[in-house]
Amino acid sequence: MRTITLIVVHCSAVKPDQQSSAAQIDSWHRERGFHLGIGYHYVIRRNGDIEPGRPEWLIGAHCQNHNKYSIGVCYEGGLNVRGQPADTRTAEQKATMRRLLEHLHQRYPRAVIVGHRDLNPQKACPCFDAAREYADLQPKL
């Protein structure tokens, strides 16, 4: 089993009229040369459904230099109608994301929750302050 010390929150960087199921992301990532397919461990659809990506035991491909010890969680969205970065999470997505992160926090109590942009300032992803929103689920020192 991997040692998980980090949970990285992402968006799929699609506009409101675009879909990004785990299956679609899987094919996009394969086109980009990820031969194991989807780089995230979980995808949260706009309706709040969770779709599995890579199994947790498998190293992801979602955050350069941080994949080995992390879990990648991605919500469908992240761009507004003009294609600009925006927190487009629906109420259902917010509820599911909190439930999923609570569950992961219970299983990996030493994992810090961050957004992709916190590790790579070149990125806007996930377009909200994940570390602050989930401050109550951060490791207790």
Per rule CB under 5 A, count of chain residues that contact Zn ion = 3
Residue 29 binding Zn ion, by CB under 5 A:
no
Interface segment toward Zn ion; rule CB under 5 A; list 8-16, 53-61, 87-95, 106-114: 8-16
Which residue of 97, 125, 130, 137 would you call a contact of Zn ion, by CB under 5 A?
125
Closest of 17, 77, 73 to residue 43, by C-alpha: 73
Retrieve residue 89's tokens. Answer: 């999470």
Residue 141 CB, nearest distance to Zn ion (Å)?
27
Residues 53 and 68: their CA atoms lie apart, in Å, by 16
| Cα separations in angstroms, 79 against 26, 39, 68, 98, 124 | 19, 20, 28, 21, 10
Out of 41, 62, 105, 116, pick the active-site residue: 116
Beta-strand (E) ranges in 24-131?
42-44, 50-52, 70-75, 112-115
Residue 44 binding Zn ion, by CB under 5 A:
no
Query: Is 105 a known active-site residue?
Result: no
Query: Is 40 a known active-site residue?
Result: yes
Interface segment toward Zn ion; rule CB under 5 A; list 43-51, 84-92, 103-111, 123-131: 123-131
Residues annotated as catalytic are: 10, 40, 116, 123, 125
